[in-house]
Amino acid sequence: MGRNMRSPTLNDVARLAGVSYATADRVVNHRGNVADKSVRKVLTAVEQLGYVRNVAAANLSRSRTYRLAFLMPGGSNPFFERMHAHLEKAASHLKHSQVSINIVIVDAFAVEALEQAIEVVAGADYDGIAIVGLGNDRLVAPLNALRDRGTRIVSLVSDLPDSCREHYVGINNLKAGRSAARLMGMAHAGGPGRALVAVGSLDAPDHADRLQGFRTVLEEDFPEIEIASVIEMRDQSALMHRMMMEAWSTTEGVSAVYNVGAGNEGLIDALRIMDRPRRFCSIVHDLIPPTRRALEDGTLDAAIDQRPEIEINRALTLLRAIVDDLPPPPMPELIPAIFVRDNLPDETV
């Protein structure tokens, strides 16, 4: 523990290894054409000194810029709008750290569109990309091609096939669904109940996971709560409104509602009209302006949220780290956040 612990430089390594700077450089930068004996000497010296290359100096030297792209759904989805907004903010902040970020809009749920987008970015020589993924095998080939051209890949919100990305930035949707069920169970205080469940698409792995988690916990721990019906709609707010009203009028004794996917606006409007009993529990996903307002006025009891801003930040730190060939900084697991009326963030979300 010396006083002025200057970190060792590559020069120090070369000197200790008894080789020239050039040779040490050849080793650490994998330039090849080095005798095994020298490689060993250099690696030993690296180990011994605890040398890590000074990334700032390295990037300065090669005037490195981080060229990143984010492939994600756009348009009318308020969740992704929130994500975009934060990404823009982060991008303008990082502009002065030589990071440039392109946002590539992709149609939601559409494998072909995503496949196509991947091929487009493959031509643009990005250093790293973040993809809101789909668990479809058609993506494996183009993604591997991308990787072979030197582009690093992380998946965001929804995972890709394991082999295609270096990290997944998102929550465990099984846990999210389980948590919803737990809250709903708590809200029934041991009493019986009937729940209406709405889901965007059961093809989407995240929705399927949530529903499965939800089911499991109800069965295991709250058998007196029954799932009256699972309504599938492709995140359509208007459809949600209609079907919810219908289910409400045709189903007896509904005590709870859980929306696995999007389309919360329609659900909330329906809830406001419905003549709910005093003990009624409604749980949705994603904190967006309508759900926030509904939490505040008591129409909703809880919203499970992924904290998309945090996910964006993580994706960015991760991408920068892996582009630099550095181990990612220690970060605790992303947790499905449970929002109630009282722990909402101050900023208008």
Chain residues in the site for a second copy (CB under 8 A)? 5-7, 52, 54-57, 59-60, 63, 86, 89-90, 93-98, 100, 175-176, 178-179, 181-183, 186-191, 213, 217, 278-279, 281, 301, 307, 309-310, 313, 327, 329-333, 335-347
Of the pair 32, 332, the CB lying nearest a second copy is at 332
CB atoms within 10 A of CB 141: 12
**Of 26, 167, 178, 188, the one binding DNA by CB under 7 A:** 26
**Of 16, 34, 196, 244, the one binding DNA by CB under 7 A:** 34
**Of 1, 3, 4, 33, the one binding DNA by CB under 7 A:** 33
303 binds, among a second copy, DNA, none (CB under 5 to 8 A by kind): none
DSSP state of 294: H
336 binds, among DNA, a second copy, none (CB under 5 to 8 A by kind): a second copy
d(CA 9, CA 121): 37
What is the β-pairing status of strands 225-232 and 337-339? unpaired
Contact by Cβ (8 Å): 140, 151: no
Per CB under 7 A, 212 contacts DNA: no
As to burial, measured by CB atoms within 10 angstroms (0-12 exposed, 13-18 middle, 19+ buried), residue 103 is middle
CB atoms within 10 A of CB 145: 13
18 binds, among DNA, a second copy, none (CB under 5 to 8 A by kind): DNA
- CA dihedral (208, 213, 218, 220) in degrees, to 10, reads 130
Per CB under 7 A, 53 contacts DNA: yes
Q: How far is the CB of 228 from a second copy (least distance, A)?
A: 19
Q: Locate tokens 């295991």: which residue? A: 220
Contact by Cβ (8 Å): 42, 22: no
Q: Which residues in this chain contact DNA in the complex, by CB under 7 A? A: 6-7, 9-11, 18-23, 25-26, 28-29, 32-35, 37-38, 51, 53-54, 57-58, 60-63
